[in-house]
Amino acid sequence: MRDDDHDHPVGDGADPNGEPIIEARNITKSFGGAVAVDGVGLAVGAGEIHGLVGENGAGKSTLMRVLAGIVTPDHGVVSIDGVDLDAGNTRAALDAGIALVHQELSLVPEMTVAENILLGSTPTTSGFIKVSEQRRIAAEALNEIGVSVDLDEPIVRLSVALRQFVEIARAVARKPRVLILDEPTATLTPAETDYLLDMLQRLADRGLAIIYISHRIPEIFRICHRVTVLRDGKLVDNIAIADTTPDAVVDQMVGRELKIEEGQRREALPGSVVLSAEGIEAHRVNGIDLQVRAGEIVGLGGLVGAGRTELVRSIIGADIRSAGDVTITTDKGEARVRTYRSAVNNGLAYVPEERRTDGLALTMSVSDNVALPNRSELSRAGILSRSKIARRAQELAEVVGLRPPQVQREAGEYSGGNQQKIVLAKWLGRKPAVIVLDEPTRGVDVGAKAEIHRLIKELADNGTAVLVVSSDLPELLELSDLIHVVRDGRIAGTLDGSVADEKSVMSLASGEATVSGNGDPDDLVGSAQ
Amino acid sequence: MTAALELGSGESGDNLLARVRTVLGRRTEGRAVALLAVVAVVTAFLEPVVFTSYPVTLGRIALIGLVALGLTAVILMGELDLSVASTLAVSGVVMASIESLPLGIVAALLVGLMIGAANAFFVVAVGINSFIATLGMLFFLRGSAFVLSNEEPVRLANRDAGIAFGKPFLGPLTPRMLLFIGAFIALQVFVTRVRVGREFYAVGGNREAAYDAGIPVTRRIVTGFMISGFVAAMAGVINTLERTAADPTAGSTVLLASFAAAIVGGVLLTGGRGSIFGTLLGATSLGILQVALTLSGVQVDVQNIVIGLVLLLAVITDPNSVRGVVGSVRSLLQGRSRA
Amino acid sequence: MLLLGAVALAACGGDSDDGADGSDSEDVAGATADAEFEVYALLPQGNDQPYGTTYLPPMEAKAAELGLNLTITNSQYDADKQASECEVAVAAEPDLIILWPAVGDTVRPCLEAANDAGIPVTVTNSDVNPEDKDLTAAYSGPDTYGQGVASAEIFCDLAAGEDVGIIMVNGLTGNSTAIDREAGFEDTVNEQCPNVEILARQPGNWNKDDSQLAASEMITAVGAENIGGVYAADDTMVAGVIDALKARDIDPADLIVTSIGNTFLGNPLVLSGELDGTVFQSSSWDGENAATTAHEVLTGGADGDRVVKFMPSVKVTTDNAESPDVAPEW
């Protein structure tokens, strides 16, 4: 597949010999007074992978949308091969060879893989779709990125990871000169991420200019030749990877000294069992038992699609379970939980994965969102007390580190990381007996991530039983006292958080260390219950 | 190198059974087929006349289904068109008001296209929600039909042509059925094989993605509404011919029947999912059911109850809902036995 | 499991009702005669309207007595639906079809289809258009012209030769019942009491609100002092007129007021003296005679000529309003 099979060590700087393919000069864009991008320039040459980093809200996405012609900048120009492009013209950008792989997946669920890859540029003869050519081009594009998938499969039937690859195939099918990827690995497992990064290097070797946006600093250092750091819409640095270090980049991003507490584990003193689930069966969940004690953080690891989200949703009663019992034991006694409502009434808090749709009312203010689960506490004779809500919300906003801590603003105006903090604040106000978190830091920048980790640990230290689902292995290892690895809707194995490592979790998750026949997994601390 | 990553592309297997399962799993008409089978079998036992005099049943299916076919084009894009029944009435009145039959037919169809364009204008240019825009259009057109007709049925100048139109034309098939079949084939091909029609799914399934991919979303919506308006006008023309007069109150049961056919056929009201074929199946189920119930002399109120049950059945047999219901029933029973 | 349950439920819903309808008529039929004839009755209303509710039971009872096995449909005044029900009826090859046209102008194809299949059609309640009459075997129902005549006769009696100016509220423009009643009333007045002068006329569209508005406008137009009487084409509309008069401080009892219907709305108005006279339209007569007329045609009592059975236009005034013979039915 790889025609030019020459060696291409990472970070040797492929660009300097040629003119840049894409160049953006002095881009400024503000939305209603707030400056999102402020005089930023960027140049990427053929064969170069250019990293773009910054905290959420630093202006990365806006800059990319300007490059792709989706957003019209207030000032500045984008040029390809020295020719200026018509600003804010998506078609012109596409025709000039700029392809953007969106952060939010932009595939049509009920259309097939082939149709999605050629969406908007379907080949036709007098209006009729040329099906064979459509399939041929789609197959070529998939081939080019080395992914094998049935062309006639509708997108809804694909895994999240496959959808991401189809999205990339779609960009590649346009034979772009510049490929922009916005957080492509956020939903991928480590193996899939590896594969994607290798693939990007191959594409760069063929002369593509690639702009790669990620929160994951190690990925940047693995594949990028140069990195651009943005903060608050301004360019902080543009430097060759060889000349910088991960710590330096993180410092530049956050603009303050931030110790990433990597591997810094807390001393867990688990109390009695608070959350107990027995024999849970539901859609994609095939008989699972688990317990979470007061002050304990239990992690659920596994691949995307292993059934973890389904498991927690059925435990908390948000989805119907076909069998199994769940009890929550607090100082008020033991309660059997069948519905989500009864779970919440018995002291459970839930922070869903899709916070945009499940966890927050985006058009309501931060303080109203925070008040939602605390209505009885904040109301007097059934009437919500405005001042009480505002005061309480303000307190909580400061505890979770909401920036800016303006609780009257709409939740939708905040960035992803801040929205997650609002969701946490919402539940912190209740001092829950149990909190269930699904991917608490997906798409969140490093600064906010560290703060969210701190909050979760604090909750546990204060006696809350914590159940957390995470695909982010370092996060899972850092937080969890006990890790259950889920595969195919079952617990494939249980590991003690203090001795588990990425390898042991992944081998359980991927099925390499299955409980084959009746044998026990050899090198694991705990076995499947 | 490429085989390095197995991402698990569904359950596409090698043997025939697995392939059949994969193909079936991709279709959205599964429930409509099952429902049709149940309805057909029950009817075959209770009212075999439904099948022995199949031209009557086909006629009923065409009556229910034609407007539903056009409506499906709009629903696929996640929009609604509530004005179809009024469009049918107005176009019929316009047609009957014109002395010359061919001229009247052309005028009626043009009226349908114009109504579709007007609906689309309100939805895409003014930015009104399609439910509200077409609800307004519904009242406007119904009122217009009454005003234009002077509140009474308008008789066709050429009644003999109308009566001849209602007679079988090709074998047992009347022109209505042939036009219905023609409309079905045309629309089915349009949304599966023609790029513009296929992109309706993108507009309904993920509008943002459709914009980003450079699909002219506005033009697609205009096209969809014009199809819906045209097909409704066509139904108005056919009805007026067959009845030899245009009734301004015509189509009072068309709106709900059309939506019911689409829903039973597995068309998702929020757009992006479903098919013209599904709507055909839905209309067929409802048509057979209605004829069977009419033959049994069942009161119209009871007929409505049965049709309502079928609609609910079609919706709750969505695999997710079934699982939910089974699960909650089971946990309820468990809870009882333990308490 | 659920699917089966729901299907069974749906099937039961259909079945049990079918069964109930069938057994009703069979029970009665068993007592008198065997079911000899299959008859489809294509009606535009049923238990969803007051008239239909009191029309159906006498019809069903009579049919059972005469050995007619009825299958009744209700098109809810949708011409397309009735046309489709007509197709179903023709396909079922009954011995006769009873038709109450939903929209008179649209029934010709149905009549032709029945004719082609050799199925006789009798018409009930509202007659078909004159040119379609030769495709039908009989009509039974109100004599709409005669009702207008009867209402006018009450009026002329009360006017007693004096000059009276009146306002007239008619039914829906173009509706055949409205046209016939208006003609019956006007022809009779011109003939029997030319001293009565129609000062103004407007359609009240068979409903009370429209009628009230129309009456109010006419009162203004011709001047309250010139009005000595009112005719409205049905009881519902006359109630609207009476309200309009009261709103102008005119006591309806001082005027001559007549209408048609003798409904639950009209009969008390007669008793209270606000309405001087109305004409009884009996829904039970209508339903019963739909069945007897059909039976007559089936048993060949008609030998070729079109049977026409008019409902007697019984006058209802203060003298007889309490009589059980004219007890309102709808």
- Provide the ipTM: 0.83
Q: Is the pLDDT of residue B12 over 50?
A: no
Q: What is the rounded distance in angstroms from the CA atom of residue A222 to the CA atom of residue A247?
A: 14
CB interface of B with A, residues 153-192, below 8 Å? none
Domain that includes residue C155, residue range: 144-281+317-326
Q: Are residues C270 and C164 in the same domain?
A: yes
**Burial of C26: CB neighbours in 10 Å, binned 0-12, 13-18, 19+:** middle
Vertex B248 angle, CA B245 and B252, to 5°:
110
**pLDDT band with cut points at 50, 70 and 90 for residue B96:** very high
CATH number for region A273-347+432-510 = 3.40.50.300
Q: What is the rounded distance in angstroms from the CA atom of residue B136 to the CA atom of residue B131?
A: 9
Residue of C286 and B334 predicted with greater confidence: C286
Q: Please name the residue of chain C whose CA is at the shortest distance from the CA of residue B244.
A: C106
Token pair, residue A300, equals 């659920």
Token pair, residue B301, equals 């109120």
A129 and B273 within 8 Å at the Cβ level: the answer is no
**pLDDT band with cut points at 50, 70 and 90 for residue B75:** very high
Name the nearest CA neighbour of A94 among A168, A207, A19, A177.
A177
Q: Average pLDDT for residues C65-76, to the nearest whole number?
A: 90
Q: Is the pLDDT of residue C22 over 60?
A: no
pLDDT at B237: 95
Residue of A27 and A369 predicted with greater confidence: A27
Q: What is the rounded distance in angstroms from the CA atom of residue A245 to the CA atom of residue A221?
A: 8
Q: Is the pLDDT of residue C28 over 70?
A: no
Burial A314-352 (b: 16+ CB within 10 A, else e): bbbbbbbbbbbbbbbbbeeeebebbeeebbbebbbbbbb
Our answer on whether C and A touch (3+ beta-carbon pairs < 8 Å) is: no
| Average pLDDT for chain B | 86
- Judged by a CB distance cut-off of 8 A, whether residue B208 touches chain A is yes
- Judged by a CB distance cut-off of 8 A, whether residue C57 touches chain B is no
pLDDT at B321: 58
Tell me if C300 is assigned to some domain: no
Beta strand C307-311 with C138-142 is parallel
CA distance B322 to chain C (A): 8
| Average pLDDT for chain A | 80
Our answer on whether B and A touch (3+ beta-carbon pairs < 8 Å) is: yes
| CATH number, domain with residue C240 | 3.40.50.2300
Residue of A167 and C3 predicted with greater confidence: A167
Q: Average pLDDT for residues C239-243, to the nearest whole number?
A: 93
Q: So where are chain A's domains?
A: 20-97+176-254, 108-174, 273-347+432-510
Q: Please name the residue of chain B whose CA is at the shortest distance from the CA of residue A324.
A: B331
Q: Are residues C267 and C119 in the same domain?
A: no
B247 and C108 within 8 Å at the Cβ level: the answer is no
* CA distance to A97, B301, C222, C312, per residue, from A140 (Å): 18, 58, 87, 86
Tell me if C103 is assigned to some domain: yes
**Burial of B117: CB neighbours in 10 Å, binned 0-12, 13-18, 19+:** middle
Query: Which amino acid, one-letter code, is at C200?
Result: A
Q: What is the rounded distance in angstroms from the CA atom of residue C258 to the CA atom of residue C185?
A: 10
Nearest to A108 among B8, B209, B335 (CB): B209
Q: Are residues C174 and C321 in the same domain?
A: yes
Q: Are residues C85 and B287 in contact, defined by beta-carbon separation less than 8 angstroms?
A: no
Residue of B214 and B222 predicted with greater confidence: B222
- For residue range A316-335, what is the model confidence (pLDDT) as tens digits? 888 888 888 999 998 888 88
Tell me if C292 is assigned to some domain: no
A321 and B7 within 8 Å at the Cβ level: the answer is no
E-assigned strands of A294-402? 297-301, 321-330, 333-336, 348-351, 379-380, 383-384
User: DSSP per residue over C238-296, as a string?
Assistant: HHHHHHHHHHTT--GGGSEEE-SB--TTHHHHHHHTSS-EEEE--HHHHHHHHHHHHHH
Lowest-confidence range among A9-13, B187-191, B205-209?
A: A9-13
pLDDT at C10: 43
B1 and A148 within 8 Å at the Cβ level: the answer is no
Query: Which amino acid, one-letter code, is at C321?
Result: A
| Residue where one domain finishes, among candidates C136, C152, C169 | C136
Maximum CA extent, chain A:
75
Q: Is the pLDDT of residue B171 over 80?
A: yes
Q: What is the rounded distance in angstroms from the CA atom of residue A262 to the CA atom of residue C12?
A: 67
Query: Which amino acid, one-letter code, is at B237?
Result: V
- Judged by a CB distance cut-off of 8 A, whether residue B194 touches chain A is yes
Q: Is the pLDDT of residue C128 over 80?
A: yes
- For residue range B290-322, what is the model confidence (pLDDT) as tens digits? 888 888 878 777 888 888 888 888 777 766 556
Q: Is the pLDDT of residue A178 over 90?
A: yes
Q: Are residues C198 and C322 in the same domain?
A: yes
- Write the CB contacts of A81 (distance below 8 Å, at least 6 apart in sequence): A19, A21
Q: Is the pLDDT of residue B64 over 90?
A: no
Lowest-confidence range among A206-220, A363-377, B118-132, C224-238?
A: A363-377
**pLDDT band with cut points at 50, 70 and 90 for residue B119:** very high
CB interface of C with B, residues 209-248, below 8 Å? none
pLDDT at C26: 40
Q: Are residues C185 and C152 in contact, defined by beta-carbon separation less than 8 angstroms?
A: yes
User: DSSP per residue over A335-360, as a string?
Assistant: EE--SHHHHHHTTEEEE-S-IIIII-
Q: Are residues A473 and A301 in contact, defined by beta-carbon separation less than 8 angstroms?
A: yes
Nearest to B243 among C1, C14, C79 (CB): C79
pLDDT at C21: 42
**Percent of chain B residues topping a pLDDT of 70:** 89
Lowest-confidence range among A12-26, C64-78, C196-210?
A: A12-26
Q: Please name the residue of chain B whose CA is at the shortest distance from the CA of residue A196.
A: B5
Domain tally for chain C?
2
Q: Is the pLDDT of residue C23 over 90?
A: no
Token pair, residue B56, equals 């009557």
Question: Which chain B residues have a beta carbon less than 8 Å from that of A152?
Answer: 26
Tell me if C54 is assigned to some domain: yes
**Neighbour count for residue B113 (Cβ, 10 Å):** 16
Q: Are residues C150 and C52 in the same domain?
A: no
Query: Which amino acid, one-letter code, is at B125?
Result: A
User: To which H or E segment does residue A290 belong?
Assistant: strand A285-293
- Judged by a CB distance cut-off of 8 A, whether residue B8 touches chain A is yes
Token pair, residue A45, equals 């040459």
pLDDT at A378: 62
- For residue range C132-147, what is the model confidence (pLDDT) as tens digits? 999 999 999 999 999 9
Query: Which amino acid, one-letter code, is at A187?
Result: T
Tell me if C102 is assigned to some domain: yes
Q: Are residues C132 and C185 in the same domain?
A: no
Q: Are residues C82 and C202 in the same domain?
A: no
- Judged by a CB distance cut-off of 8 A, whether residue B52 touches chain A is no
CB interface of B with C, residues 48-67, below 8 Å? 49, 53, 55-56, 59-60, 63
pLDDT at C4: 43
A162 and B326 within 8 Å at the Cβ level: the answer is no
3-class DSSP assignment, residue A467: strand
Q: What is the rounded distance in angstroms from the CA atom of residue B134 to the CA atom of residue B139?
A: 9
Q: What is the rounded distance in angstroms from the CA atom of residue B250 to the CA atom of residue C80?
A: 7
| Residue where one domain finishes, among candidates C72, C102, C136 | C136
CA distance A330 to chain B (A): 21
Q: Are residues A53 and A249 in contact, defined by beta-carbon separation less than 8 angstroms?
A: yes
Query: What backbone torsions phi and psi does residue C34 show, to the nearest 5 degrees?
Result: -80, 150
Q: Are residues C92 and C169 in the same domain?
A: no
A150 and B335 within 8 Å at the Cβ level: the answer is no
pLDDT at A137: 93
The residue written with tokens 């969940």 in the block is A285
A333-336 sheet: strands from edge to edge? A285-293, A273-282, A321-330, A333-336
pLDDT at A517: 32
Question: Which chain C residues have a beta carbon less than 8 Å from that of B180?
Answer: none
* CA distance to A112, B19, B30, B187, per residue, from B23 (Å): 12, 6, 11, 22
A348-351 sheet: strands from edge to edge? A348-351, A434-438, A465-469, A297-301, A482-487, A490-496
Q: Is the pLDDT of residue C20 over 60?
A: no
DSSP state of A432: -
User: DSSP per residue over B16-83, as a string?
Assistant: HHHHHHHHHHH-S-HHHHHHHHHHHHHHHHH-THHHHTHHHHHHHHHHHHHHHHHHHHHHHTT---TT
Nearest to B12 among A90, A150, A159 (CB): A150
Q: Please name the residue of chain A whose CA is at the shortest distance from the CA of residue B205.
A: A108
Question: Which chain B residues have a beta carbon less than 8 Å from that of A1?
Answer: 1-2
pTM value is 0.74
Q: Average pLDDT for residues A390-400, to the nearest whole number?
A: 78
Instruction: List the chains bordering chain B where 3 or more Cβ pairs fall under 8 Å.
Output: A, C
Query: What backbone torsions phi and psi does residue C122 show, to the nearest 5 degrees?
Result: -110, 150
Q: Average pLDDT for residues A60-89, to the nearest whole number?
A: 88
**pLDDT band with cut points at 50, 70 and 90 for residue B332:** low
Lowest-confidence range among A394-403, A481-490, B113-122?
A: A394-403
Tell me if C3 is assigned to some domain: no
pLDDT at B198: 93
- Judged by a CB distance cut-off of 8 A, whether residue B19 touches chain A is no
Q: Average pLDDT for residues B238-253, to the nearest whole number?
A: 88
How many helices (DSSP H) and strands (DSSP E) are in chain C? 10, 12
Size of interface B-C (CB pairs under 8 A): 149
Q: Is the pLDDT of residue A441 over 50?
A: yes
Q: Please name the residue of chain A whose CA is at the shortest distance from the CA of residue B190.
A: A128
Residues facing residue A29 across a β-bridge: A37
CA distance C70 to chain B (A): 8
CA distance A135 to chain B (A): 14
- For residue range A186-234, what is the model confidence (pLDDT) as tens digits? 777 778 888 899 999 999 998 999 999 987 788 899 999 999 999 888 8
CA distance C54 to chain B (A): 15
pLDDT at A264: 57
The residue written with tokens 């010139």 in the block is C226
pLDDT at C288: 94
Q: Please name the residue of chain B whose CA is at the shortest distance from the CA of residue A104.
A: B209
Q: Are residues C75 and C158 in the same domain?
A: no
Q: Is the pLDDT of residue A376 over 70?
A: no
CA distance A333 to chain B (A): 17
Q: Is the pLDDT of residue A32 over 60?
A: yes
User: DSSP per residue over C62-93, as a string?
Assistant: HHHHHTEEEEEEE-TT-HHHHHHHHHHHHHT-
pLDDT at B2: 38
Q: Average pLDDT for residues C56-68, to the nearest whole number?
A: 93
* Candidates 1.10.3470, 1.10.8, 3.30.930, 2.60.40; CATH matching B60-314: 1.10.3470
Token pair, residue A429, equals 């106000």
Q: Average pLDDT for residues C120-128, to the nearest whole number?
A: 93
Q: Are residues C111 and C204 in the same domain?
A: no
- Judged by a CB distance cut-off of 8 A, whether residue C117 touches chain B is no
Q: Is the pLDDT of residue B48 over 70?
A: yes
Q: Please name the residue of chain B whose CA is at the shortest distance from the CA of residue C44.
A: B300
Q: Is the pLDDT of residue A355 over 60?
A: no
Q: Are residues C233 and C174 in the same domain?
A: yes
C2 and B325 within 8 Å at the Cβ level: the answer is yes
Q: Are residues C39 and C184 in the same domain?
A: no
pLDDT at C15: 41
| Residue where one domain finishes, among candidates C109, C136, C163 | C136
Nearest to B153 among C9, C72, C105 (CB): C105
- Judged by a CB distance cut-off of 8 A, whether residue B256 touches chain C is no
Instruction: List the chains bordering chain A where 3 or more Cβ pairs fall under 8 Å.
Output: B
In CATH, which superfamily holds the domain spanning A20-97+176-254? Answer: P-loop containing nucleotide triphosphate hydrolases (3.40.50.300)
How many helices (DSSP H) and strands (DSSP E) are in chain A? 17, 24
pLDDT at A398: 78
- Write the CB contacts of A266 (distance below 8 Å, at least 6 apart in sequence): A457, A460, A461
E-assigned strands of B90-225? 154-155
* CA distance to A328, A329, A337, A339, per residue, from A333 (Å): 8, 6, 12, 18
Residue of A34 and C209 predicted with greater confidence: C209
User: DSSP per residue over B98-135, as a string?
Assistant: SSSHHHHHHHHHHHHHHHHHHHHIIIIII---HHHHHH
Q: Average pLDDT for residues A2-24, to the nearest whole number?
A: 55
Q: Is the pLDDT of residue C34 over 70?
A: no
Q: Is the pLDDT of residue A522 over 60?
A: no
Q: Average pLDDT for residues A281-299, to the nearest whole number?
A: 89
Tell me if C294 is assigned to some domain: no
Nearest to B202 among A100, A108, A323 (CB): A108
Q: What is the rounded distance in angstroms from the CA atom of residue B177 to the CA atom of residue B61?
A: 9
pLDDT at C101: 92
A129 and B335 within 8 Å at the Cβ level: the answer is no
